[in-house]
Every structure is written in structure tokens, then in C-alpha cells.
């Protein structure tokens, strides 16, 4: 039996934060007397663990990190989730993949309860069998997205007898790196927050600019594997 799985990043891939993340971080920094970096630096915070990004800012002490995160999360939960928007064509893509029998999961560096809530608010939660995120305590360090992806796959409870084919979809190098740690191909999407050329340099198997192109590349990733699987099951004439 063949099982196909598509694992998606969240912010910048499925949902556009629409300034909710960068604006919320700016507000948290200002409230604590920390200089707000330029917009490009703020955009670079979308994808990696927030605590790690904050620690790299001048004036941010280890003691201040949890306070900044608490202030940011409070505003994001109250206003930012509703202000976010699903990218064009994404819901139709998810619907068509589900109809084709592809199992869907989310793997995100966002704390898992908040990721689940965001997907619910945006009307996407029911498309996914699993939502895998980071520890709710964002001060707990994690160095790679690989374990989050691995957790998503483990929680799908796949049958060991199945032929399982998995592809990752994301908008930052962290998605490509995390997928590679699990031996998976990663498709990059250009509508997210990666600097130009980042996804290609990290080894994404393709970079697409529309949801329609993404569906084509996902199918292309599965097709050769399915053909091999079918050939192995075909009886050899005697």
C-alpha cells in the first residue's frame, strides 16, 4: 500500500501574517525600551524560533526574552491571528490534495497550541491530520526544524508495511534544512519571507510562485515513486 504525505510550514507558506508578526515584535521591543530593527530584519524573524531571533538583537538580555515573548504573544493572540490571511489558492490546493488521498500535516516553529488556533481561525484546521509545533514555552531552545517534522510523521501513525512518500513545503531555509535532516525533499514557495535565492541555495527541489504550480510539483515528486511502487507489484511473466 502506498501512502503519500505532504507536510506544510505555516507562516509564510499557508498563511500570510500580514504584518501581525513584525508589528507585534516591534510593539514588544518598544514597550521594553529596545530599539526596533529595520523591516528586513523583522521579516527575518518569520520562520526561525522567536527566542533565538530576539537574543541576537542588541540590548536584549536573557532575562528580557520571556517578557518580550509574552508581550508579543498577547497581542498576536488578541489581534494578529485574525488579521492574518490565507494565501491565494491554498485552501483549494489542500482540498484537492485531500480528495486525491494525500495525507496532510503542518510542521511549524510556532508554539503548537497557537498554530492549531491560527489554523482554526483561518478555516484550515480540518484539512490536517496532524499539527506539529514547538514547545509552548518559547524560551526552550530548538536548533532545527527536523525534530518538529519527525514528530509530525510519527504522530500520523503510519503502518510499517506501507510504502510512504513524503514531501515538505516551506518558505524559508529552515524548512529545507529540517526536511533534509529527515531525508525528505522540500519544495520552496516564493510568496513567503525568504531572501532572494535562499531556497535555491539551500537545496529546495523547486521554488514555485503559485498554488497551482505547487500542486504540479507535488505531483511530480510523488509520480516517479508511485511508478516504481507499481512496477514492484506487477507480476513478472513466467
Torsion angle (degrees, nearest 10) of CA 22, 25, 29, 31: 110
Closest CA to 205 of 186, 177, 225, 221: 186
> In the structure grid, which three cell numbers stand for residue 166, read together?
513524503
CA atoms within a 13 Å half-sphere pointing along the CA-CB vector of 36: 13
Let me know: does 187 contact 169? Beta carbons within 8 Å. Answer: yes
Let me know: does 130 contact 10? Beta carbons within 8 Å. Answer: no
- Look at the block and give the residue holding cell 478555516: 123
> In the structure grid, which three cell numbers stand for residue 167, read together?
514531501
Residues linked to residue 188 through DSSP beta bridges, in sequence order: 170, 207
Return the axis-axis angle of helices 173-181 and 146-155, rounded to nearest 10°: 60
Quote the CA–CA distance of 159 and 161 in Å, as a whole number: 5
> Which of the residues 9, 11, 171, 175 is marked catalytic?
9
Catalytic-residue membership of 175: no
Let me know: does 91 contact 100? Beta carbons within 8 Å. Answer: no
Active site positions, annotated: 9
Amino acid at each position: 500500500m502506498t501512502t503519500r504525505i505532504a507536510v506544510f510550514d505555516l507562516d509564510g507558506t499557508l498563511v500570510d501574517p500580514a504584518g501581525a508578526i513584525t508589528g507585534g515584535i516591534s510593539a514588544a521591543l518598544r514597550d521594553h525600551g529596545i530599539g526596533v530593527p529595520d523591516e528586513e530584519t523583522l521579516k527575518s524573524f518569520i520562520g526561525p524560533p522567536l527566542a533565538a531571533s530576539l537574543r541576537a538583537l542588541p540590548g536584549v538580555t536573557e532575562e528580557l526574552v520571556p517578557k518580550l515573548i509574552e508581550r508579543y504573544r498577547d497581542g498576536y493572540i488578541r489581534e494578529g491571528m485574525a488579521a492574518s490571511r490565507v494565501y491565494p489558492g491554498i485552501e483549494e490546493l489542500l482540498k484537492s490534495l485531500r480528495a486525491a488521498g494525500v495525507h496532510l500535516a503542518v510542521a511549524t516553529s510556532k508554539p503548537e497550541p497557537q498554530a492549531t488556533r491560527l489554523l482554526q481561525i483561518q478555516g484550515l484546521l480540518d484539512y490536517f491530520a496532524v499539527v506539529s509545533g514547538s514547545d509552548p514555552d518559547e524560551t526552550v531552545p530548538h536548533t532545527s526544524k527536523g525534530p518538529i517534522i519527525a514528530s509530525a510523521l510519527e504522530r500520523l501513525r503510519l503502518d510499517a508495511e506501507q510504502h510512504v512518500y513524503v514531501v515538505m513545503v516551506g518558505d524559508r531555509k529552515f524548512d529545507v534544512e529540517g526536511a533534509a535532516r529527515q531525508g525528505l525533499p522540500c519544495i520552496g514557495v516564493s510568496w513567503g519571507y525568504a531572501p532572494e535565492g535562499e531556497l535555491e541555495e539551500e537545496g529546495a527541489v523547486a521554488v514555485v510562485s503559485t498554488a497551482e504550480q505547487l500542486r504540479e510539483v507535488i505531483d511530480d515528486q510523488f509520480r516517479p515513486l508511485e511508478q516504481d511502487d507499481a512496477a514492484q507489484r506487477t507480476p513478472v511473466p513466467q
